[in-house]
Amino acid sequence: MPTTDIPELVFRERPAAGQADGLLVLHHGRGSDENDLIGLADVLDPERRLHVVTPGAPLQVPGWPGKHWYVVPRVGYPDPDTFRTSFLALSAFHDALWERTGIAPSRTVLGGFSMGSVMSHALGLGPGRPVVAGVLGLSGFVPTVEGWTPDLAPRTATRVLNAHGRRDPVIGYEFAERARALVREGGLDLTALDFDGGHQIAPQHVPALAGWVAETLPPRA
């Protein structure tokens, strides 16, 4: 796909209080937009040590509100064409963000909820992309899609947090089990959080999520 065909993403951001210790990029879920997760900035980074950015997806789907990262013919298996559009758009967005902020991929956590978690796994664990510090996956999965496969061998420095509800009716708990098995087999550091709930970010997980982000992106020496 030519560079001129890659959509430019709109976004929101919350700068750090001082010099940023790292970068936290949060990708929203299906039918939402760049405004949805910006409120998590102060929740996950209460000391405001990090530069937090929330990009909006490039797609609009007829009959659905909000923005989308890809079309869903079947849960777990994104439509290849729309997935590729968003993968390229996010690749360009992340590359430009690293250049603009001067914050390296090694000081970056890619996170998201639901469909945004899928894209965080895709960009954080996929071939040809820089190695990031962490992937924060909330109620999502590692996608199975034509043209993309995980590449974990060079990413043993990447930490992964996988949080999922055992009663999730949208993205079943079995997707969490598959993602965790993949990460463990690849030798990456994995934190798994479960709760007896559905498709949501569990409030009781917030302290653990914030602690994991702080451990993954500690203060600069």
Query: pLDDT tens for residues 167-201?
Result: 999 999 999 999 999 999 999 999 999 999 999 99
pLDDT tens by residue, 199-220 = 999 999 999 999 999 999 999 8
pLDDT of residue 21: 98
Counted residue by residue, the chain has a size of 221
- Is residue 3 over pLDDT 90? no
pLDDT of residue 221: 74
pLDDT of residue 5: 78
For residues 30 and 72, the answer to whether their CB atoms sit within 8 Å is: yes
pLDDT of residue 2: 38
Confidence (pTM): 0.96
* Integer angstrom CA distances of residue 207 from 82, 112, 125: 35, 17, 25
Closest to 190 (Cα-Cα) out of 205, 179, 174, 200: 179
Mean of the pLDDT values across residues 17-27?
98
Q: Taking the C-alpha atoms of 155, 179, 67 and 123 in order, what is their torsion angle to the nearest 10 degrees? A: 10
pLDDT of residue 220: 86
